Structures are given as C-alpha cells and as structure tokens.
Amino acid sequence: MNPEFAEQEYFVLHLLSVSREPLGAGTIREALSGNGMEMSEASAGRLLRDLDSRGITERVGYQGRIMTPKGEVRLDELVSEREKLVSTGAFLEAVKSREKEMLLEILVARRAIERELASLAAECRTENDIASLRAILDRQNELLSKGEPMASTDPEFHHEVARISGNKVLQSAIEIIRKSGEGASFFEYIRTRVGSKVGSDHEPVFQAIAAGDPDAAAAAMARHMDNIIRDVSKYWKDHVKELNRAW
C-alpha cells in the first residue's frame, strides 16, 4: 500500500470512529480535502468500496458507511504506523520542503478572512447552528481526552463557522486559501511539538458566537490564528534548523 493511500485510509477510519452516524462519500471527500488530500466524490466512493470489500467498513443503506470491528483493529494499526513515521523523522523530513514564509503568508490571509467569518457567524447564528458547533467541539474534546489526534474536527469547525456566516464570497475565498496551505494534521503536529494546548482555541470562538457577540468572536478567531502563526515560527526556529543540521 502506498503512503498516500494509507494516509487517506487513516483519515477515513478516523472520521468514522468519531462520527455518531454513517458518513457518505461526499462528506468524507470534503473532510479529506480539508486535510490537504484532494479527491473526487467518485474516488472517495471507490476507496469506500475497497474498504467494504476488506471488511473494514460496512454500508448502511443509503445513509453511508460505518466502521466495523475489523476496521477498529485496522485503525489501531494505522495509528501505530503513523506514530512510527513521525518518530523516525519522516514527517520532519517532509517539513523541510515547506517554505516558512509561504506558510505564514497563508496563515495571515486566513486570519483576516476567518476573523470576519466568525464575526458574521455571531450575528447570523441560530440555535441549530450553535448546537452544530457544540457537537463538533464535543467530538474534538472526546478525542483529546483519549489522547487521539483531533485534526479531523479542525476543518469541520472552521467550515461550519464559514457556513453560519452566510457570506458565500468569503466562504469561497477561505476554501481556496485553506487548500493552498497544509492540512490540519500538519499544524496539530507542529503545535504539539512546541508545547501548545491543541484544541483549546476553538472554545472561546464558540462561546462568542453562541453569545451573539461579533467583536468577541472576531477577536477570539484572531487569537486562534495568531497562536498558530506563533507556533509555526517557533517550530522553524527550534526544530527545523536543528533538523537541517542533523541531516
């Protein structure tokens, strides 16, 4: 199995493991795209059919797929393999090919747009929107409490804030910018390495949106993006230079 497919399989199984309902090919494709793995809906369908044939997933009518007990075992194997890749420096070797300044420029652009999206979301949110955001954060916190990666919930949270904003132009703009950068797992790894508490930034954004406070929502989202920018800069300073000397 090639590394790209293994990574896709890992994220599909991870998504299914935290979902409380079956997931369709469209939902899975969007989640993969949010993590930097572009895939057509047809390709997502083929991937799922392959997992079905191996007994890793199971189709539930027209609702989508669920993960089987065999899939749970496979996910554990992939988690172990992924941890080994990181520990052996394979992930860090990939990091060396990224340009720090380009990453920072993308994050600054995200900061400008996402703070506005958060502000608009605070103005437009409904009770159903608040419940939807809360459910995402609850899944995130559940993963964190288990010591598992929460990267699958990060783009979901940001996508939901963008949707709630109701501004289609800004939604399109942020999607283009997010796809030009790195996936959530990349930033989760970096933030963990520099000692940040991953996942804590979303809660203040949610609270401000739920309270209907546009200014507080914009400020909370700006702080979230500033924290990522700070951690990326710190990571390059403390780890990438060290890696370049070692290699």
Q: Which of 29, 55, 87 is the last residue of a domain?
A: 87
Q: Are residues 68 and 120 in the same domain?
A: no
For residues 198 and 123, state if they share a domain: yes
Length of the chain: 247
Q: Which two tokens stand for residue 119?
A: 């502000």
Closest CA to 202 of 143, 158, 151, 146: 158
Least reliable range by pLDDT among 21-35, 130-144, 180-194 = 180-194
pLDDT reported for residue 90: 47
Domain range enclosing 143? 96-246
Helix (H, G, I), strand (E, B) or coil at 58: strand
Q: Are residues 134 and 214 in the same domain?
A: yes
Average pLDDT, integer, range 100-116: 85
State whether the Cα torsion 180-94-92-35 is positive or negative. Answer: positive
Domain end: 61, 87, 113, which one? Answer: 87
User: Does residue 115 share a domain with residue 56?
Assistant: no
213 and 129 part of one domain: yes
Confidence class for position 209, pLDDT limits 50, 70, 90: very high
From the list 106, 124, 80, 79, the residue with the least C-alpha distance to 181 is 106
Shared-domain flag, residues 100 and 197: yes
Q: Which of 43, 68, 87 is the last residue of a domain?
A: 87
Q: What is the DSSP letter of 197?
A: -
Same-domain pairing of 31 and 140: no
Residues 103 and 224 in one domain: yes
pLDDT top residue among 126 and 144:
126
pTM, entire model: 0.61
Beta pairing class for 64-67 and 57-60: antiparallel
pLDDT at 216 over 60: yes
Rounded mean pLDDT, 225-246: 71
pLDDT: which is higher, 195 or 209: 209
Do residues 45 and 113 both lie within one domain? Answer: no
Name the least confident of 5-14, 23-32, 235-244.
Answer: 235-244
Using alpha carbons, select from 191, 215, 216, 212 the residue that is nearest to residue 204.
216
Residues 105 and 184 both lie in one domain: yes
* CA distance linking residue 38 with residue 138, whole number of Å: 27
Domain identity same for 71 and 112: no
Residue 92 has a pLDDT of: 52
The per-residue pLDDT of the chain, averaged, comes to: 80
- Which of the residue ranges 91-95, 158-162, 194-198 has the most confident prediction, judged by mean pLDDT? 158-162
Residue 245, pLDDT above cutoff 60: no
Residues 103, 220 within the same domain? yes
* Long-range CB pairs of 144-153, under 8 A, 24+ apart, other chains included: 144/198, 144/199, 148/14, 148/79, 149/14, 149/185, 149/188, 150/188, 150/198, 150/199, 151/35, 151/183, 151/184, 151/185, 151/188, 152/11, 152/14, 152/15, 152/18, 152/31, 152/35, 152/184, 153/18
Q: How many domains does the chain have?
A: 2
- Give the per-residue pLDDT at 2: 41
Question: What pLDDT was estimated at residue 1?
Answer: 40
Range in 109-113, 165-169, 224-228, 238-242 with the lowest mean pLDDT? 238-242
pLDDT over 60 (residue 244)? no
Selected residue with higher pLDDT from 200 and 99: 200
Q: What is the distance between the alpha carbons of residues 25 and 91, in angstroms, rounded to a whole number?
A: 28
**What CATH number does residue 182 fall under?**
1.20.120.530
Which band of pLDDT confidence, cut at 50, 70 and 90, is reported for residue 183? Answer: low
